[in-house]
Amino acid sequence: MVEIWRRAVEATHEFLSPEDIDFYEGHIRDTYLPALDVTVAELSGRIVGFLGLQEHRVEMLFVDPEAHNLGIGTRLLAHAAARHARLDLDVNEQNPSALDFYRSRGFVETGRSPTDGEGRPFPLIHLSGPYPR
């Protein structure tokens, strides 16, 4: 899953430097993933995406770039929405394709933070949804 995370981030998070990605990768592997309820998506017996929940909060949703535009992210999100009446999540403001993805699936903006969860200068948009159910 960490390899999928890295490939997805390298393909979609153009605002991060290689050093930034290395920094986050350690946290993903050692701290974040082990603490989450993770659902994986498989295609032809190979993991191609995953979603990590902490209660009703989507902490991670990543799809291998080779499997983008196949509906995998949408199916993972629908699986989480079926388990929870409301989902909350944060998306990097500098990742407009992710923001568009969530908005197109009914999520609405509920706030903004000037830094990410690590206090680094990567603003976050807070979203809640999906609406309507």
pLDDT, tens digit, 9 for 90 and up, residues 10-68 = 999 999 999 999 999 999 999 999 999 999 999 999 999 999 999 999 999 999 999 99
The domain tally of the chain equals 1
Q: How confident is the model at residue 131 (pLDDT cuts 50, 70, 90)?
A: low
Positive or negative, the Cα torsion across 71, 107, 35, 5? positive
CA distances from 122 to 11, 33, 93 (A): 17, 21, 7
What domain range includes position 59?
Answer: 2-129
DSSP line for 26-63: HHIIIIIGGGSEEEEEEETTEEEEEEEEETTEEEEEEE
- Distance, in Å, from the CA atom of 8 to the CA atom of 80, rounded to the nearest integer, reads 20
Strands in 108-113's sheet, in edge-to-edge order, are 37-43, 46-54, 57-63, 87-92, 124-129, 108-113
CATH code, domain carrying 86 = 3.40.630.30
pLDDT tens per residue, range 53-89: 999 999 999 999 999 999 999 999 999 999 999 999 9
- Distance, in Å, from the CA atom of 28 to the CA atom of 131, rounded to the nearest integer, reads 29
CB-CB contact of 7 with 64 (8 Å): yes
Return the pLDDT at 132.
55
Residue 126 above 80 pLDDT?
yes
